Structures are given as C-alpha cells and as structure tokens.
Structure 1
C-alpha cells in the first residue's frame, strides 16, 4: 500500500513540475541540477548490492528527461543526457566492474575510432570539428559503454519495473509541460506536417520518440503493476494523455516505435505467461485497447481529422503524398552514395551532413550513416550490434523484455538515428541477465519450555 501511495504521489508531483517549468522556465535548470546531484550522490552512497539498480534508475531518469531539458534549455549542454548516461555507466563500472564476455563492445568502441581520423582529413572549413563529432559519436559511445556495463548484469524484474518507473516520471513532466504550452492544437495546425507548436516549440521527431517511451512504460505498468481497479484507471489516464500528445506532434516515428515495442513485448509476455496470468491480462488488455482508442479519437477530434490524413499519408486536402518517408529516403540514398564512393573506410564521422547539396542536414537513419561514414567497418559494427544480443539471447531466454528493448532500438535508429540517449540505453538493456527473486523465508520461532 505504501509503495502504491509513493508511486501516485511521485507521478502527480512530476505532473505538477510540468506546470512549474511552463510558468517559470529557468526552474528547469534548477530541476536538472537537483536531479544530477541526487543521482550522483545516490550511486556513491548506495550499498554495493544496490549499485546496479541506482545506476539504472539514474540513466533511465535522464533518458526520460532528455527532450524536456533540451526544449527548456535546462541541461548544461545539448547532449547532457548522453554524457550523463556515459558518466553513470562509468561509475557503475568503477564500483561493479564489467563482464569479460562483453568483449564485442570493446571491439565496437575501437572500430569507431578510424572514422575520426578520416573526418579530420576531409573537414569542411565551416565545420566545428569537436561539436560535430560529439553530436555524431556520443550516441554510439553511449551505447558501447552502457552495453559493456550491462552485459550479463544480474537484474531482477522488480528492478526493471522500478527502472521503467523512473524513466516515465520526467516523461509525465514533459507531457504536462506540452499540455500547458499548447493546450489547443486547433489554433496551430494548417496542414499535415510535423507540428512544432504541439511539440513545445522543439523537434517533433524527438518529442514523439520520448513520448513513445512513455506509452511503453505506462503500458507495462497498466498490464503488470496495477493490482487494483483504481490504479488501472489512474495509469490509463496518464497513458491516454501521453499517447494523445505523441500523436498530435504529427511525427509518426515515435508512435510507430511505441507500437512495435509494445507488440514485441505483448507477444513474448503472452507466450510465456501461465494460464492464470493470461486470464488476468485479458481485462487489462481490454482497458489498454480502450485507452488507445480514446487517445486516437481525442487526437482526431482536436486536429479536425488532419491526423487521420497524416497517418493515411495524405495532405490537408486528402491528396496522397508521393513520398511516404517524408524525404528520408533521399537522405538514405545520399548516404549510400558516400559508401559506394569510399567503401573501405567511409567518408568520416559527421561528414555526411555536409554532402546534402550545400545544405547541412543531419541523418535520420543510423544504419545508412554507419555505412557512409565508416565504410566496411560500419558493416562490421552492424554485425556486432545485431548478432551479439541475439547470441546472448540463445543462451539466456529469461528476459521477457528482450525483444521489446531491441525493437525500440532498431525502430528508433531508423527514423531518428542516435539523436537521443534512449535507443542506446534500451539496446544495452537487452543484454541484462534476469535473476530469480528469492521468496522471503519465514522461520517459526522456537517455543521456549
């Protein structure tokens, strides 16, 4: 009962934070500082048995808060969350070490280095070398270090649920900030393009991605951590709000990533569940479906049907758009040209965006970027990233979240590359080793004569 009360209070407090930050945006910097000090201090003072959990919670929290701090300029740097995930993982390594079986990720990190030297030889005169490298490589380095720390790391399901809860808290704050920033979408839409006003004045692609994470987090909460009807309704309300705000960004990537991730999770959950749990899940699945339908109906009504046209790949007049990828296919083909021209070592890290016919446009697809900027080395990197977790899974099948975590990573890097820390962190979570939780032992007290 106490844990349920704490959950409700923390969720509502983070909803309130959204209003506070909207009312006084500089508070975001204070919020960032408090969270940073709290988690660094928590990792340092935590008991050795709890270090991994605290590291996971710290990473998850800043992954969930990344877009909020970017749109409100609360972080100390644009890439703050990636740097902090790296810092927290390094702290975890310092206290807990790494598994020797994670050597593929040592190789992966080393293979990122040649592209830096190639880029330094072909750098455009107007490029900021350090900033460009940090933007392009911070995500891959974050993935490599997180994977090193979490490879075969023993984590219980209870700890996974707690980690996901900490991830959703700042997403609740983001959602309520958006609700106050843009309460009426009708005043800001004129077509079916991605909507910056509905995204807090920030990139709709990134906003929909992090809100998609929130959809997944509350879906898990609704299905597996809502023992009472009241809690189910509470979680459904937040799920509807987050899904609604994700949809009306008009950026489909984060919504589709959430759908793919949830589908992967449900398939494994239902196939592994005992008959008793399957019966219990039916009611929650019905409520989940109702929540999604309500979120869509509200979105369709508030956008005057334009969101229906967006997902049908039509413009505001109902005419079908010829390019379903909204220009992303052209970017991919442009990057593949770079691979064909320089197949061995690629064109160099961060150089891709300077090949867009004079325009500086960053990539949306991590796969094509790896091929273009790393050449054949990029193919080796992809093979490591794909087959290492699958190989680990073949020997350890206890993690029901495995395919969900991996699906989110793959879906996200194909529409938003590694702009956010989220795909790197979720990829690394597919490598954890779910441990059995020991039931408490109740000993009878001896009767004294």
Structure 2
C-alpha cells in the first residue's frame, strides 16, 4: 500500500511539474539543471550494488523528458540528452565496468569513425562540420555507449519496472504541458498533416515517439502493477490521455511503434504466465481494448473525423494521398542510391544532407537510420546493422527472463525507420534489451533452533 501511495504521489508531482513548466517559463532551465544534479548525486552516493540501477534510472528519466525540454527550451542545448546518457553510462562503467562479451559494440563504435574522416573531406564549407557530425553521430554513439554498459548487467524484475516508470514520469509532465498549450483543437485543425500546434509547437514526430513510449509504459503498469481497482482506473486514465495526445499529433509513426511494442510485450507476458494469471491478463486485455476504442472515438470526435482520414492516408477532403510515407520513401531511395554509388566507405557523415544541398539547394535530413547508415557508411553500414540486429538476438538465446526484450528491440527498430535517431530514446531503449533480468530473491524465514 505504501508503494502505491508513493507511486500516486510521483505521478501527481509530475503533473504539477508540467503545470509549472507551462505557467512559469523561467522555471524550465533551473529545473533541468536540478534534475542533472540530482541524478549525478544519486549515482555517486549510491552503494556499489545499486550503481547500475541508479545509472539506468537517470538515463531513463532523461530520455523520457527529452522532447519536453526541447519544446520548452529548458535544456542547455539541443542534443544535451544524448550527451547526458553517455555521461551517466560512463559513470556506470567507471563504477561497475563492462562485460567482455559485449565486445561487438566496441567494433560498432570504431566502425562509425571512417564516416567522420570522409566527411572532413567532402562536407561543404557552409555546413558546420562539428554540428553536422554531432547531429548524425550523437545518436549512434549514445546507443553504443549504452549497449556497452548494459550488456549482461544483472537487475531484478522489479528494478526494470522501476526503470520503465522513470522514463514515463517526465512524459506525464509533457502531456500535462501539452494540455495547457493546446486547450482547444477546433481553432487549429486545418488538415491531416502532422500538427505542431498539438505537439507543443515542436516536432510532432519526436513528441509522438515519446508519447508512444508513454503508452507502452502505462500499459505495463496496467497489466503488471495495478493490483487494485483504483490503480487500474488511474493507470487506465493516464494511458488513455497519453494515447489521445499521441493520436492528435497526427504523427502516425510513434503510435504505430507503441502498438507493435505493446503487442510484443503482451505476447511474452501471456505465454510466460501460469493459468490463473492468464485469466487475469485476459480480463485486463478486454478492459484495455475498450479503453483503446473509447480513446479513438474521442480522438475522432474532437478532430471532426480528420484523424480517421489521416490514418486512412487521405487529405481533409477525403482524397487518397499518393505517398503514405509523406516523402520519406523518396529520401530512402535516394540514400540507397548514395550507397550504390559509394559502396565502400559511403558518402560520409551528413554526406546525403550535403549532397541534397548541392543538388536541390535545401538541407533535408534523413528520417531513416537504416538507409542513412548504408549511404553514409557504405559496407561498414551493413556491418553496423548486423551487430545491432543479431547480437541481441544471440544474447536472447541464453537469457530469456526479460519480458520486455522484444518490446525494447521493436521500439528501436520502428523508431529509427520513421524518425532516425533524433532522440536519445531508441538508442538507450535498445540497450535495455541487453540487460540480464534476474528473479528477486525470496526471503526465507527460519525458526531458530532454540524455539524448536
């Protein structure tokens, strides 16, 4: 009961943070600095056996709040979340070391270097070399560092649930901020394109991605951490509201990623549960489906049916759009062509952005990390993708206690295919699939000999 009260208090506190971030702009930067200081203090002062756990909590909170601090300009600079994740995992490596079995991720990081060398030769003078390289490589480096740290680290089932909770708390603050930022939809909806006004004035793709992550996190709470009716109601309401805000960004990628992620989690949860537990899961799933249907109906009503047309790939007049990928397919093909033209070392980091600037006169960045890796890294891109895909699958063959393994992997792969690695979230969540989840030790109470 005490844990439930503490949880409700944490959620309420983060709702209050969302209100303050909206109402008091000067509060934003000091709050972010306070968060950084707080987690550094926790990592440094934690006992040795809790260092890994504290690092994971710190990284989870930072990745969950990344879009919120970008949209409110609360962060010190745009890419700070990725650098903070790297900083925290370096703390973790210093205290807890790394597994020698994670050596493929060393090779992965080394394989990123040649693209920097190629870029130093090819990038135009009007593209800032440092910022261009940092933009495309900060995400992959964040993933590599996180994977090196997480590989085969042992944490309990309860601890991984706490990690998921910590990534969801700043999302609660963000969705609260979004509620106050866009109190009415009727005055801002004009079509079926992704909507900045419903995304806090920031990129709908990134906001929807993290709202999708929040949908997954509260689905986990609903199925695993809601023993009482009041907790089911609270978690169900938060899940519905986050889902609603994700849907009305009109950015489909984050919502689709969440649905696949949730499906992967529920499949493993059901197949690994005993008969009685399966009955509870079925009951909760029926409630979950009803909640989903109600959320969609509300979303459709509030958008006057425009959201139905968006997901049917139609414009506001109901006419079918030619390109369901909204231009991403063309970029994908261009990058594959870049790979075919430069198959060995690729065009270099930010090379395709440089090429588009020369040929089209505009800077267009990739939305697909797979095609970007191929075009900018050449054959090394294939090597990188092979490590990223097959190493966790190989690890899974011997460590099968992570209920969220496929969900984490799905989130990474789905996200990098519609939003590249603009956020720190896909890289760090990918690394969570490499954790070694252990069963909590049961306390055995023995009678003393004197009492026998």
TM range (shorter): over 0.9
Q: In the alignment, which residue of structure 1 is the partner of 2:334?
A: 334
Q: In the alignment, which residue of structure 2 is the partner of 1:37?
A: 37
Residue 289 of structure 1 and its aligned partner are, at CA, apart by: 1.3
Q: How does 1:290-305 map to 2 (within 5 A)?
A: 290-305=290-305
Q: How does 1:210-359 map to 2 (within 5 A)?
A: 210-356=210-356, 357-359=360-362
Q: In the alignment, which residue of structure 2 is the partner of 1:412?
A: 415
1:429 to 2:432 alignment: yes
Deviation per CA, 1:14-61: give whole Å up to 9, x if none.
Answer: 011111111112211111011101100000000111111111100000
Aligned residues: 449
Q: In the alignment, which residue of structure 2 is the partner of 1:402?
A: 405
State the alpha-carbon separation in 1 of the partners of residues 411 and 351 from structure 2.
27
User: Pick from 372, 377, 381: which aligns with 2:384?
Assistant: 381
Residue 352 of structure 1 and its aligned partner are, at CA, apart by: 1.4
Runs of 4+ that moved beyond 6 A: none
Q: In the alignment, which residue of structure 1 is the partner of 2:88?
A: 88
Q: In the alignment, which residue of structure 2 is the partner of 1:392?
A: 395
Residue 355 of structure 1 and its aligned partner are, at CA, apart by: 2.4
Q: Contact between 1:184 and 1:302, CA under 8 Å: does it hold in 2?
A: no
Q: How does 1:178-197 map to 2 (within 5 A)?
A: 178-197=178-197
1:372 to 2:360 alignment: no
Q: In the alignment, which residue of structure 2 is the partner of 1:71?
A: 71
Residue 446 of structure 1 and its aligned partner are, at CA, apart by: 5.1
Aligned-residue CA RMSD in angstroms? 1.0
State the alpha-carbon separation in 2 of the partners of residues 319 and 156 from structure 1.
51
Q: Contact between 2:123 and 2:354, CA under 8 Å: does it hold in 1?
A: no
State the alpha-carbon separation in 2 of the partners of residues 224 and 382 from structure 1.
33
State the alpha-carbon separation in 1 of the partners of residues 323 and 261 from structure 2.
25
SS of 1:26's equivalent?
helix
Residue 327 of structure 1 and its aligned partner are, at CA, apart by: 0.4
State the alpha-carbon separation in 1 of the partners of residues 184 and 353 from structure 2.
35
Q: Contact between 1:175 and 1:242, CA under 8 Å: does it hold in 2?
A: yes
Residue 13 of structure 1 and its aligned partner are, at CA, apart by: 0.9
Change (3 A) 1:122 1:437: same
Deviation per CA, 1:166-217: give whole Å up to 9, x if none.
Answer: 1110000000000000011121111000000000000000000000000000
State the alpha-carbon separation in 2 of the partners of residues 151 and 303 from structure 1.
44
Q: In the alignment, which residue of structure 2 is the partner of 1:148?
A: 148
Q: In the alignment, which residue of structure 1 is the partner of 2:134?
A: 134
State the alpha-carbon separation in 2 of the partners of residues 448 and 410 from structure 1.
59
Q: TM-score, normalised by structure 2?
A: 0.98
State the alpha-carbon separation in 1 of the partners of residues 49 and 287 from structure 2.
37
Q: TM-score, normalised by structure 1?
A: 0.99
State the alpha-carbon separation in 1 of the partners of residues 319 and 412 from structure 2.
33
Q: Contact between 1:199 and 1:249, CA under 8 Å: does it hold in 2?
A: yes
Q: Contact between 2:29 and 2:75, CA under 8 Å: does it hold in 1?
A: yes
Q: Contact between 1:146 and 1:428, CA under 8 Å: does it hold in 2?
A: yes
Residue 445 of structure 1 and its aligned partner are, at CA, apart by: 4.3
